Structure 1
Amino acid sequence: MTTKFIYTYIRHRDEQELCRMEMRSFFGKDVQDNVIQSEVTVNPSRSPFMQARLAVWIQTDSLDSLAQQAAVLEVEKSFKTVCLNDMELANTAKIGHAKRREIERKVGLQIIGEPELDYPELLIGIMQLEDQWYVGELVESSSDWHVHQQKPHMYSTALGTRLARAAVNIAVPHPEGIRVIDPCCGIGTVLVEALSMGIPIEGRDINPLVVYGSRKNIAHFGLQGNVEIGPIAEVKEQYDIAIIDMPYNLFTHITAEGQLAILKEARRFAKSCLILTIENMDNMLTEAGWDIIDRCLARKGTFSREVVLCT
């Protein structure tokens, strides 16, 4: 049987568009709410917005029925029950602390196995969404990637870690067999996020100093990745997708012609491309032969970048 998953989200309102674009890449659909249901399996620790994933074992229309059906569950690992309604989920109101503990006991005491509150081997989630109740295996998102915000080599115009991580997920939602390149990698923010998620990616930059910084950043986090020195015109291999944080003339000497050349070169060696840019580049993308299939505006305060997925 196909497993149904329920994913919960926490995001700032400025991140709403970016989060929904990441949803579309992972699941082929998006929602305005902070909870989405899908049969697609995604590790919640990949996303900067996901809070948890519930793999549904039982779905029913009342808590009493859920507890009764939980009596048939037998788990071999030590477990702890966790009620996920500690915040508003879509149109379902938050459940208070005392009530959540009562729900956890009511369901947990029916499950055949060894309860363990401090160091459980398995988390069993309980969730109410409107008139439905769910129980299943719970995987909580890890925030280990937050350490990537403190790199030994940084500069002010580099992508933020959250945006870089979401960009990788949008570009490469399901990485099996996919070849990825960041041909203008700078100090390697995208490379670090991709490699930390186990996504093989190759890096390149024309500037030897930033390549040095990129290699150092990758090594600093115990990761391994290849970063070459050279212009994008020297890329010889073929890739499924390129991720490009477009150099912009506000901080570099690149011209509009130089930006167009980057887009044309990427069209030569990549089937798809994810562009991050501070200015609209639709005309350039069309001239370079790209078709836009999805986009969003990623905001951070008064600063924003367009995130544009092309084929």
Structure 2
Amino acid sequence: MRSLFGYDSQTSYLKSTKRINPTRSPFIKERIEVLYKSESLDELIHHVEGIEIGEDTFKVICLENHSNKLGFKERRFIERKVGLQLKGNVDLLAPQTQFAIMEVDGEWMFGEYTKSDSVWLHHQNKPQNYSTALSTRLARAVVNIAIPSINGVNAIDPCCGIGTVLIEALSMNINIVGSDRNPLVTTGARENIAFFGFEGEVMLREIRQIKDTYDVAIIDMPYNLCSVLPFEEKLDMLLSARRIAKKVVVITIEPIDSTLREAGFNIRDRCVAKKGTFTREVIVCE
């Protein structure tokens, strides 16, 4: 929420002037692009009366606000009452356009409705997997944290592994390249990317060999079940990241603040991702 919208919401909804596609995030369920809002339902119905939908079929749904729950019958009544004011062809099963109505903070809102498509779930079915790879859900969230606005951004995943982050970024039309020093995983990354119909460059090289510069780098610090990287190798990686990118998002399983500071980074934001007893920290640096 802080990365995409600039602030945290303490409720189940968030108001913003930013038009974010809900499919971008595993944490956004749906969006209403508000066309009209009023202090009362009757006033809102007056606003929408006579709206021409055009040739598309449509449907109106009433969304539930968790702080002010409406019963099933009441929501169906509101849907019918609002829907009857619109001029067009209704299709309750497979409408081409959906509209939603919802009461938020004492105001009734009406607008075009978009439901999230959990594409990251489909990406779990990639042909090549790696035991320590990020989950597709976390990878998608990390991409959004690193690249909230995709226009004109050039990004890199210099330790890309089997391409979990690359796939999520490419599915959002983000300009990103990948590289890794392990030829087995770079081959797997290319296969996974092609499996979903994406096109992306994956190079076999160490982070120290990268000469180009990027707006953003996403680094999932390498580790295995028995050990983590020596301090000198971690510092070397982060110094290279500092050289090639203006902004770096680091995913780590161990405390790394002192190494980041030694590499010349300022920590701008952070969060923790947990799966059972396993914890990863996501740190935004500039």
Q: Distance in 2 between matches of 1:70 and 1:115?
A: 15
Q: Deviations over 1:204-250 (max 9, x none)?
A: 00000010111111111111100000100110111001000011364
Q: Deviations over 1:79-104 (max 9, x none)?
A: 1001111x61xxx2332222111110
Instruction: State whether residues 49 and 86 of structure 2, in contact with CA within 8 Å, keep that contact through their aligned partners in structure 1.
Output: yes
Q: 1:44 aligns with which of 14, 22, 27?
A: 22
Residue aligned with 1:66, SS? helix
Residue aligned with 1:75, SS? strand
Aligned to 1:232: 207
Q: Distance in 2 between matches of 1:149 and 1:45?
A: 16
Q: 2:252 aligns with which of 260, 277, 287?
A: 277
Superposition map of 1:284-295 within 5 A: 284-295=259-270
Aligned to 2:183: 208
Q: Distance in 1 between matches of 2:40 and 2:176?
A: 47
> What TM-score comes out, normalization by structure 2 length?
0.96
Residue aligned with 1:152, SS? coil
Q: CA deviation at 1:254?
A: 3.0
Q: Deviations over 1:39-71 (max 9, x none)?
A: 011110010010111111111111122212210
Q: Distance in 2 between matches of 1:73 and 1:304?
A: 51
Residue aligned with 2:192, SS? helix
Q: CA deviation at 1:72?
A: 4.2
Q: Check if 1:81 corresponds to 2:77.
A: no
Q: Distance in 1 between matches of 2:41 and 2:71?
A: 16
Superposition map of 1:1-311 within 5 A: 23-76=1-54, 77-85=56-64, 88=66, 92-248=67-223, 250-251=225-226, 254-311=229-286
Q: Distance in 2 between matches of 1:236 and 1:244?
A: 17
Instruction: State whether residues 249 and 255 of structure 1, in contact with CA within 8 Å, keep that contact through their aligned partners in structure 2.
Output: no
Instruction: State whether residues 120 and 137 of structure 2, in contact with CA within 8 Å, keep that contact through their aligned partners in structure 1.
Output: no
Aligned CA-pair RMSD: 1.3
Residue aligned with 2:15, SS? strand
Residue aligned with 2:89, SS? coil
Cα 1:251–1:45, aligned 2, differ >3 Å: closer, same or farther?
A: farther
Q: Distance in 2 between matches of 1:66 and 1:26?
A: 29
Instruction: State whether residues 247 and 259 of structure 1, in contact with CA within 8 Å, keep that contact through their aligned partners in structure 2.
Output: no
Q: Distance in 1 between matches of 2:275 and 2:239?
A: 29
Instruction: State whether residues 260 and 288 of structure 1, in contact with CA within 8 Å, keep that contact through their aligned partners in structure 2.
Output: yes
Q: Distance in 1 between matches of 2:37 and 2:9?
A: 21
Residue aligned with 2:280, SS? strand
Q: Distance in 2 between matches of 1:98 and 1:189?
A: 44
Q: CA deviation at 1:252?
A: 5.6
Q: CA deviation at 1:114?
A: 2.0
Q: Deviations over 1:27-50 (max 9, x none)?
A: 111112221000011110010010
Residue aligned with 2:222, SS? coil
Q: Distance in 2 between matches of 1:40 and 1:217?
A: 32
Q: Which amino acid aligns with 1:65?
A: E
Q: Which amino acid aligns with 1:34?
A: S
Q: Which amino acid aligns with 2:26?
A: P
Q: Distance in 1 between matches of 2:74 and 2:228?
A: 60
Residues matched between the structures, number: 285
* Structure 1 portions without partners, runs of 5+: 1-22
Q: CA deviation at 1:253?
A: 6.4
Residue aligned with 2:88, SS? coil
